[in-house]
Structure 1
């Protein structure tokens, strides 16, 4: 640091202030010091900075699967929001064979230079209802599940399903068949429950669930099966991959969409992949969830005394195309 001060013609204190991101240095001086740092190959010691400030300006993200569409878009939202505030992001995976609990995840994160943790909770962990974050470590869950000790945020999975189910029923369909995601998926669980409850509120008993695995192939098999179910006119698939597979399965069985059977999916992620897409879908704003999740954690880190658990659900938006037939007309 003394070499930088000597080269830049400033005091060591000025170099320290620039290194620590202080606003008390004039812009021209800061730019000159930064140029010298770059020329001399200086890298700030973030551990020392953390000791001085009491935080690292970094958060951790824990997740089960980084390549799943929703997770990837949520992570993109987190990293963009973090970059806006000069935060770094450390990612850890909850892989198979590892102990899967919030306590284990946070314990791993405590050994890393992070100030808080965002857990993208695709599957229920055994201690979600009992875990209490340690002092000095803010923990937020991306899930529709509720917590009394941690803030949560998610797309409104339940509300998405009530919207889709009512949309079908309002257009004259007597019932709605559901193709789920994997049984262990929390998103699929809340979507399934929303579908069941929406039908019940209209006096309709839910037909048997067709279990899928988020893939187009599982949707295709569901379409083949439902094509032979008498009076099946409406199918709600838990994501767009399954919904597109359902449409192909129905076509293979000689059924037309929407003339014979109507189909709606969730996520609206195929619009840039499938030309002339006809699938009606619920657009989920994963990026907004990620951005909001980061801001909630950052706010709690900056002002821990005002932090208290909150729950936010971001509603989806129905994108109408041409895969639903209105039977009332």
Structure 2
């Protein structure tokens, strides 16, 4: 910075103000300093800025799987919101060979230049109920699980399932079969529980769960199985991949959708992939969750006095197409 000041004929303080984007420098002076910076190859020192400001203007994101559709859309929302406030994003993966606990994740993040951490919690970690974030490190969980020490945000997985189940029952279906996600998935757990509770509130005993793995192939196998279940008229699949597979499996077994069996999926991610899509589905706003998650963390980074655990659930919206038959008509 002294080299820049000497070359431009200004003070080091003026160079610092230009580097930090201050509005207190005259436009002509700023342009001259920026030109010298460019000519001499100057780049701001990230660590020095952090020492001066007391923060890095960066957050960490920890996740199990970056290619899962919901995670990718949530991450996109985080990075877009971060970019709007000139924050950087550092991503770390929670691999199978690593110790899986919030304490371990946050400890890794503490060694990186980040001011806060967002954990996309796809699977339950053993210390979710007991972990207390270290002082000066805001930690937020993307999950429907509750925490007394950390803020949480998620799509309303439970509420989406109660909505779908009631939608079927209100249209004359006597029960609803459920194709779940993997057993270790928190999202699938909350969707399954919402389905069970919605049936129970209508005095309907839940049929046996068919366990899937989020894939269309697992849905296809479930469709083949359900095609031979007597009086099966309604199927709710935990995501759209499974739901589309269920429809294909039912068709392969000679069943028609929705004439014989009605099907609803969850997340509405196939609308730009499948032409003339007929699948009714619950639209999940993963991007909104990501944007909101970042803003919640950034708010505390900018003003630590606002640090107190909050919980937000963003409701899904049922997108009606033509995969459900109304039996009351």
Cα 1:26–1:185 shift into 2, 3 Å = farther
Partner deviation per Cα, 1:163-193 (whole Å, 9 max, x = no partner): 0000000100000000000000000000000
Instruction: State how 1:255-274 maps to structure 2 within 5 Å.
Output: 255-274=255-274
CA–CA distance in 2 between the matches of 1:38 and 1:185?
50
Instruction: State how 1:162-177 maps to structure 2 within 5 Å.
Output: 162-177=162-177
Offset at residue 34 of structure 1 (A): 2.8
Offset at residue 17 of structure 1 (A): 1.7
Offset at residue 28 of structure 1 (A): 4.4
3-state DSSP of counterpart to 1:118: strand
Cα 1:29–1:195 shift into 2, 3 Å = farther
Instruction: State how 1:232-247 maps to structure 2 within 5 Å.
Output: 232-247=232-247
Offset at residue 307 of structure 1 (A): 1.4
3-state DSSP of counterpart to 2:144: coil
Residue 79 (structure 2) aligns with: 79
3-state DSSP of counterpart to 1:193: helix
Residue 10 (structure 2) aligns with: 10
Q: Which sits farther off after the overlay, 8-17 or 195-204?
A: 8-17
Partner deviation per Cα, 1:199-256 (whole Å, 9 max, x = no partner): 0001101000000000000000000000000000000000000000000000000000
CA–CA distance in 2 between the matches of 1:158 and 1:71?
18
Offset at residue 38 of structure 1 (A): 2.5
Report the TM-score, using the length of structure 1 for normalisation. Answer: 0.98
CA–CA distance in 2 between the matches of 1:23 and 1:166?
57
Cα 1:28–1:185 shift into 2, 3 Å = farther
Q: Which sits farther off after the overlay, 30-39 or 91-100?
A: 30-39
Cα 1:182–1:41 shift into 2, 3 Å = same
Q: Which sits farther off after the overlay, 284-293 or 18-27?
A: 18-27
Partner deviation per Cα, 1:42-82 (whole Å, 9 max, x = no partner): 11111111111110000000000000000000000000000
Offset at residue 10 of structure 1 (A): 2.2
Residue 218 (structure 2) aligns with: 218
3-state DSSP of counterpart to 1:129: coil
CA–CA distance in 1 between the matches of 2:258 and 2:288?
32
3-state DSSP of counterpart to 1:312: strand
3-state DSSP of counterpart to 1:34: helix
CA–CA distance in 2 between the matches of 1:254 and 1:63?
41
Offset at residue 40 of structure 1 (A): 1.9
Aligned-residue CA RMSD (Å): 1.0
CA–CA distance in 1 between the matches of 2:185 and 2:276?
30
Partner deviation per Cα, 1:265-296 (whole Å, 9 max, x = no partner): 01111011100000000000000000000000
Offset at residue 313 of structure 1 (A): 0.3
Gaps of 5+ in 1: none
Report the TM-score, using the length of structure 2 for normalisation. Answer: 0.98
Offset at residue 27 of structure 1 (A): 4.2
3-state DSSP of counterpart to 1:281: strand
CA–CA distance in 1 between the matches of 2:153 and 2:202?
29
Offset at residue 259 of structure 1 (A): 0.3
